[in-house]
Structure 1
């Protein structure tokens, strides 16, 4: 099926990743993570692409560094990220797109901890949504689908009737595993990502439509 089919469908709700999907926190996050990686003797250039889109604790656990407590290190990194939001900004058109949606019809589903999510949303000028799923809400993070299944369930819908907006491979895989359709946001990609999913750079050239039955769709505006 063509990747453009998502523009021809309606959905019960939209589920949004946060970092790289509705706001750009790349510079801030990489400042913190690069310092941490360097302090632990890692190849920073090789490491940096691996830390996007997943929970900090999962990134650190995956490394298996001797003598490193993933929970302690993840907490330190989160504190540093909360204290450094310089340059965090909304993606073009994202704030208006979200504002156009009924609050009961969308959620943010992020790998960031709650306090960091609230801090970055505030820095980007995006209100905290009625429904927010964060790192603390699931035992297993992306690419496991539990976060998207939970987000859909909190809204009262099946994930298979939702459209997931994502930018990173772990989140795309999580959306797929939840049996949701996925829209890939490419604004913060440094290199092209090969995907069979529909893609948009940002939200400047799309609008959300709500039909008479309250179902949502994404429409290209030009």
Structure 2
């Protein structure tokens, strides 16, 4: 009698967004954009409203079409770098325990920010940084394009369908869905369109995120 060949169990990986998912930086982002708007004599509320749903260069085209977009970007980057050095922010409840419980090769960060800022914020909040970080400089198309998440799966050497995307923003959710991945939403009272599951907080989702990657974690819900 011949035995059936043993098929390997697909490796599961978790791809985390950063701002709004692991790091609570909403107030920081608002202050940065308000300061930037003040430098250009623009309405800070209108600028922030546009910035929430577009990438920086698209924001500049809408709110400051008469200004050099590269100069606008340089001013924004200077403010964001200063925020990393001196801003007050923290990790969401459950983030530290969850990331510490995950094997280092089982997760990645996929962010619209830049890796140096992510590393600065993680250092200040005590969060570990995984080997794979896909940032704004790594891709030519940002979220909601699937390109950032597909690149993360490629770097982790796994199939997109074996990845779990953890996101807080509709554009990131859409990026994960377009990549053909499982997408869970966190940190919001209302689920983003299309998410497979939604949790009011990261802490509430932590145990199940860990289980997806074959790990265990115990955290307080928050």
TM (normalized to structure 2)?
0.80
Where in structure 1 are there 5+ consecutive unaligned residues? Answer: 1-9
Conserved 8 A contact 1:97-1:203: no
Conserved 8 A contact 2:109-2:134: yes
Q: CA deviation at 1:122?
A: 1.8
Which residue pairs with 2:39 in the alignment?
39
Q: CA deviation at 1:47?
A: 3.1
Does residue 72 of structure 1 match 2:71?
yes
Q: CA deviation at 1:81?
A: 1.2
Conserved 8 A contact 1:159-1:178: yes
Measured in 2, the distance between the counterparts of 1:11 and 1:42 equals 49
Measured in 1, the distance between the counterparts of 2:96 and 2:49 equals 26
Does residue 90 of structure 1 match 2:86?
no
Quick check: which one's strand share is greater? 1
Measured in 2, the distance between the counterparts of 1:97 and 1:56 equals 31
- Specify the SS of the correspondent of 1:171: helix
Q: Which moved more, 1:94-103 or 1:36-45?
A: 36-45
Q: How many residues align?
A: 207
Which residue pairs with 1:3 in the alignment?
none
- Specify the SS of the correspondent of 2:83: coil
Which residue pairs with 2:200 in the alignment?
201
Which residue pairs with 1:7 in the alignment?
none
Quick check: which one's helix share is greater? 2
Which residue pairs with 1:158 in the alignment?
159
Conserved 8 A contact 2:165-2:181: yes
Which residue pairs with 2:16 in the alignment?
16
- Once superposed, what is the RMSD of the aligned Cα atoms? 2.9
Q: CA deviation at 1:69?
A: 2.7
Where in structure 2 are there 5+ consecutive unaligned residues? Answer: 1-9
Measured in 1, the distance between the counterparts of 2:162 and 2:11 equals 6
Q: CA deviation at 1:64?
A: 6.5
Larger radius of gyration: 2
Measured in 2, the distance between the counterparts of 1:104 and 1:139 equals 25
Which residue pairs with 1:174 in the alignment?
175
Measured in 2, the distance between the counterparts of 1:193 and 1:90 equals 21
TM (normalized to structure 1)?
0.80
Which residue pairs with 2:128 in the alignment?
127
